[in-house]
Structure 1
């Protein structure tokens, strides 16, 4: 387009020379300064981390992966690790290697880890378990996997009622995570959904003995699940 308009412009090779000599070194220098300041403020403290990797292509054929570690209290990135697949024997090993390098850097700077939130990558689970680091799952990944299973169950014969609860179950996962102050409270609230879907709003667990929503009569009586010990509804049709 520039040629058609007879506008002067630098060539790609000239741009790359300028980027290599000036732009990229300036960006890297600024990043190191910011990282040093952030890490210094966390020295001899326990930091709450979130970690995940982004690859240059989806699936299992990525060549490069960038693993990021975020301070969840300040929402600031404190480390980035670029991993190439041929360094670690394949793209499936890049995520674990990126996390390993990031934690090693923090440990060398005197920063301890309180806990870390990641996806449910099997290698990450084993690595953190072996290192005895408290590990939590990202609620988005947990909800995504659960929603797929619920959607599959809703397609089964005589399980149409499940479809009415898909959005509610998804919202309940997020609510349990955001409204709770302990793991026991999250678990108690999550288990309460089984009673709630049967129109039972008082529970045996003393941590969460009753649903928090106001009492109200439902206009859709067919949405409630029957007791799991009851295999048929009152009108004789199979229930899920």
Structure 2
């Protein structure tokens, strides 16, 4: 095409000297404005999650994002390297700690935080007396995987037809409830009449028992009680 292009080294020099500093400067000014607005608010709802450079437990870098969920704006980004914290499993907690420390320094008052079910984060937030809710999508994804796996077994094929309805039900449970016990009661209520599932030919009694086992484990019920009612990550 007879186009003249600069060499890659030239491009990198321009990026290092002009483009990247401009991006960093703009981000810092935007972040400062957001932190000042959040400082003026009485209660702030944030969400946090990490994206790693590779799946599994072999990631080297993780980028932790903290977002103001009322305005859907990113408040903070923290880049964590695995060798800083003794392994990739600990990166997410470190990213959360750094973001929360920044908000604390800037006088931001948290109402609650929405996260996934990372065990280290649950323990840290509980000990820090910070109200935590679980992102509905993370819970729904885990339940859907279990249902799809169960539906592959003999005599449980009909479970696959219920997956979409169960997904909808967990979002409805979260959005229409105000307390943990209410969410649990709506999630998997006990029928007041005798069990006659097979009679109505919805699913066999054995299949229903499998469904009940998946949806009413202690771990699932504990997670349902902490579903975020409105704001999600």
Q: Hey, what does 1:77 align to over in structure 2?
A: 74
SS of alignment partner, residue 107 of structure 2: coil
Count of matched residue pairs: 205
User: What is the Cα deviation at residue 8 of structure 1?
Assistant: 1.2
Q: 1:199 to 1:54 in 2, by over 3 A?
A: farther
What is the match of residue 174 of structure 1? 171
Q: Which moved more, 1:89-98 or 1:151-160?
A: 151-160
1:180-222 Cα distance to aligned partner (Å, 9 max, x none): 3443432222123x649x689xxxxxxxxxxxxxxxxxxx942
Question: How far does the alpha carbon of each residue in 1:150-172 deviate from its partner, in whole angstroms, 9 at most, with x for none?
Answer: 22333344334433322211221
If the length of structure 2 is used for normalisation, what is the TM-score? 0.79
SS at match of 1:123: helix
C-alpha displacement of 1:46: 2.3
* Deviation of the 1:70 alpha carbon: 0.6
Q: Distance in 2 between matches of 1:165 and 1:53?
A: 31
CA distance, structure 1, for counterparts of residue 147 and residue 162 of structure 2: 9
Partner of 2:114: 117
Q: Secondary structure at the match of 2:39?
A: coil
Alignment of 1:36 onto 2:15? no
Q: How does 1:190-209 map to 2 (within 5 A)?
A: 190-192=187-189, 195=191
Aligned structure 1 segments of 4 or more residues deviating by more than 6 angstroms:
none
| Aligned-residue RMSD, C-alpha | 2.6
Larger Rg: 1
Please state how far the C-alpha of 1:43 moved relative to its aligned partner: 1.1
Which residue is equivalent to 1:21? 17
**DSSP-derived class of the 2:130 partner:** coil
Aligned match of 1:206: none
8 A contact 1:199–1:224 mirrored in 2: no
Unaligned runs of 5+ in 2: 210-233
- 1:223 and 2:223 correspond: no
> How much has 1:224 moved relative to structure 2?
4.7
Give the Cα–Cα distance (whole angstroms) in 2 for the partners of residues 143 and 195 of structure 1: 23
Unaligned runs of 5+ in 1: 201-219, 231-240
Query: What SS does structure 2 have at the residue aligned with 1:65?
Result: strand
Structure with the bigger percentage of helix: 2
Task: Tell me the secondary structure at the aligned position of residue 188 of structure 2.
Answer: helix
Q: Look up the match of 2:135.
A: 138
Higher relative CO (CA 8 A, sep ≥ 6), structure 1 or 2?
2
CA gap 1:63/1:180 in 2 versus in 1, 3 angstroms: same
1:12-45 CA-to-partner distances (Å, cap 9, x unmatched) read: 1111111111111111111111111111111153
1:108 maps to what in 2? 105
DSSP-derived class of the 1:77 partner: strand
